[in-house]
Amino acid sequence: MMSNILTFKIVYEEPIMLNPKIFVFAAIIVLGGVLGAIFLTTSNTDPSQDGSSQEISNQVEPINIQLEDVTILEVSDRAAVLEIQFKLDNPNTRSVIAQQLKYSLFASADSEEYKIVSGEIGQRPEGMVDGSNYYTLLSNSSIILKDKIVLDYPGNSPELMNILENSNTSWRVTGDVFFNLSSMTSGHENELHFESSK
């Protein structure tokens, strides 16, 4: 009896090798295209106009500041609590950051004016900007900034008590606001002195 033996022939096909010079040539073409595009975009801009366009984009119109309201929340011989509100308007087409607003509040009930308090809202950045103690004004919009004022022992001053208890008190505020474009690193810090009455 004869046995059948099956035999198999294994055929190895060699992979098709691409010429590595083709890849090098393609990389040189891509690199040349990128460099050409960079050259064309930089050669079409006028260097004399580049500085002026950058300067115009970093210019900031002054923001408008108004004394919106002064509210007397509580009055006693031991303490008086007031709230002051400022309205800030941004006339720019870009957002602006109001970093800090420093103010002095004056009041008069009859004829003589008295300085009530000095205060500040926000904080100017020093060194690394790591906090968010500033206020963003979107383009062509406004925000209200509020500050609570506590006066200790107003009963010791009859003039101050007269101002706080008088319904016809006139308020005036002077101060400075520090603001910048919406990036803390673009442009330079702007300072604006303001005065407003209510």
pLDDT (tens digit, 9 = 90+) per residue, 71-99? 999 999 999 999 999 999 999 888 998 99
Average pLDDT over all residues of the chain: 81
pLDDT of amino acid 53: 45
pLDDT of amino acid 45: 52
Percent of the chain with pLDDT over 90: 37
The H or E element that residue 33 is part of is helix 20-43
Q: Of the candidates 76, 68, 63, 77, which has an alpha carbon nearest to the alpha carbon of residue 147?
A: 68
> Residues 5-12: what's their mean pLDDT?
61
pLDDT tens per residue, range 102-151: 999 999 887 788 999 999 998 876 655 555 678 889 989 999 999 999 99
Going by the DSSP 8-state scheme, the letter that residue 36 receives in this structure is: H
Structure tokens at 198: 């209510």
* Integer angstrom CA distances of residue 83 from 69, 71, 79, 80, 120: 8, 5, 13, 10, 13
pLDDT of amino acid 3: 57
**Which residues have a Cβ under 8 Å from the Cβ of 190 and sit 6 or more positions away?**
60, 62, 178, 179, 180
Bridge-based pairing state of the strands 113-122 and 79-89: unpaired
pTM of structure: 0.66
Other Cβ atoms less than 10 A from the Cβ of 16: the count is 5
Instruction: Assess contact for 84 and 107: CB atoms under 8 A.
Output: no
Residue 144 amino acid letter: I
Kindly provide the b/e burial profile for residues 47-61, where b requires at least 16 CB atoms within 10 angstroms of the residue's own CB: eeeeeeeeeeeeebe
Other Cβ atoms less than 10 A from the Cβ of 176: the count is 15
The length of the chain in residues reads 198
